């Protein structure tokens, strides 16, 4: 492994350690889920809250829709933030896990050969190029299983999502409007439009760029990827989430992830700022004066 890859693996190992703090396994029945980052509630970072009563019915807005407003945690989800597909064998900086893919049944991304080779090369030689290490937003579906939790703000016309991690956000109109961007315009978070199918919010996203990864392990897509998400509240503290990805340039068939969001039940919780500062340098590019190997920027 060349030097850059060794430093990237070290960075990945640090992220794994962070994830062990930020993510917790499901708590015993009736107990508050462990919280990620953020402060303000009793128990501090990562502590379990007091025992809770059983979940209640789905709260509703004034117009009768499920009310998803509040703070939510994506949980570990099989370690999807580090590798979305099944990864049963641990690798340097990456613990074994099941990922979040539920279709195909083998839990693997149905790559075309060129895309599989690109993902393999990213993992083996380019982990330091992970977009989040350079302050870019995560894209979809990666954004939805990122660590440290997020806030949903819901109005009759919009659903807004605001992440603690990286200042990322999404603003989704829910009036079933058409996509407004021409195919040539590509964005990190794409062009998302939503509508309600009964009590499920369906979000259709196009115009994604190809500069994001599907996880921290280097899995890829192209700017032709199309994502359809479904958010379904099942009680007052749980949202079932599904996302289906199509990309005729990178995948041989559509594939789907599924997991749950748990409402943050920590009293007096505050979502903190996890800033990525312009000018950040990953470990491969630290200057010698800062203890790294690079002689110049």
Upper half-sphere CA count for residue 40 (Cβ side, 13 Å): 12
Q: Which residues pair with 159 in a beta bridge?
A: 154, 172
Q: So what's the pLDDT on residue 28? A: 32
3-state secondary structure of 28: coil
Q: Whole-model pTM? A: 0.81
Give the span between the Cα atoms of 118 and 219, in whole angstroms. 8
3-state secondary structure of 169: strand
Kindly state the DSSP code that residue 175 receives in the 8-state scheme. S
Q: So what's the pLDDT on residue 281? A: 63
Kindly state the DSSP code that residue 249 receives in the 8-state scheme. T
Q: So what's the pLDDT on residue 76? A: 79
Kindly state the DSSP code that residue 120 receives in the 8-state scheme. H
What is the residue-level pLDDT of the chain in tens, covering all 297 positions? 444 444 444 444 444 434 433 333 333 333 344 444 444 333 333 445 568 889 999 999 999 999 999 999 988 788 999 999 999 999 888 899 999 999 999 999 999 999 999 999 999 999 999 998 888 999 999 999 988 899 999 999 999 999 998 889 999 999 999 999 999 999 999 999 999 999 999 999 999 999 999 999 999 999 999 999 999 999 999 999 999 999 999 999 999 999 999 999 998 999 988 888 766 666 667 778 777 778 877
Closest CA to 142 of 284, 11, 259: 259
Classify residue 292 as exposed, middle or buried by CB count within 10 Å of its CB (0-12, 13-18, 19+).
middle
Give the span between the Cα atoms of 167 and 86, in whole angstroms. 28
- Two tokens, residue 143: 């954004």
- Structure-token match 């789905």, residue found: 58
**Taking the domains of the chain in order of start, what are their residue ranges?**
3-40+60-290
Give the span between the Cα atoms of 65 and 67, in whole angstroms. 6
Kindly state the DSSP code that residue 93 receives in the 8-state scheme. T
């Amino acid at each position: 492994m060349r030097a850059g890859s060794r430093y990237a693996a070290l960075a990945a190992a640090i992220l794994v350690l962070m994830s062990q703090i930020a993510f917790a396994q499901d708590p015993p029945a009736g107990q508050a889920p462990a919280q990620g980052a953020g402060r303000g509630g009793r128990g501090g970072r990562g502590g379990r809250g007091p025992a809770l009563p059983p979940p209640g019915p789905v709260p509703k807005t004034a117009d009768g829709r499920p009310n998803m407003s509040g703070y939510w945690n994506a949980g570990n989800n099989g370690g999807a933030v580090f590798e979305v597909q099944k990864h049963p064998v641990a690798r340097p900086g990456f613990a074994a896990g099941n990922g979040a893919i539920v279709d195909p049944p083998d839990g693997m991304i149905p790559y075309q050969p060129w895309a599989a080779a690109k993902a393999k090369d990213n993992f083996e030689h380019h982990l330091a190029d992970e977009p989040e290490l350079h302050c870019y937003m995560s894209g979809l579906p990666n954004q939805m299983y990122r660590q440290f939790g997020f806030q949903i703000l819901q109005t009759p016309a919009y659903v807004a999502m605001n992440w603690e991690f990286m200042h990322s956000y999404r603003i989704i109109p829910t009036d079933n409007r058409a996509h407004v961007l021409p195919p040539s315009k590509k964005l990190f978070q794409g062009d998302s439009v939503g509508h309600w199918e009964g009590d499920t919010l369906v979000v259709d996203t196009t115009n994604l760029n190809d500069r994001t990864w599907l996880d921290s392990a280097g899995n890829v897509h192209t700017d032709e990827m199309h994502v359809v998400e479904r958010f379904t509240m099942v009680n007052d503290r749980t949202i079932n989430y599904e996302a289906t990805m199509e990309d005729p340039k990178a995948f041989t068939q559509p594939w789907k992830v599924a997991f749950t969001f748990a409402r943050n039940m920590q009293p007096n919780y505050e979502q903190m700022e996890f800033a990525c500062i312009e000018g950040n340098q990953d470990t491969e590019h630290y200057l010698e004066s800062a203890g790294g190997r690079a002689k110049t920027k």
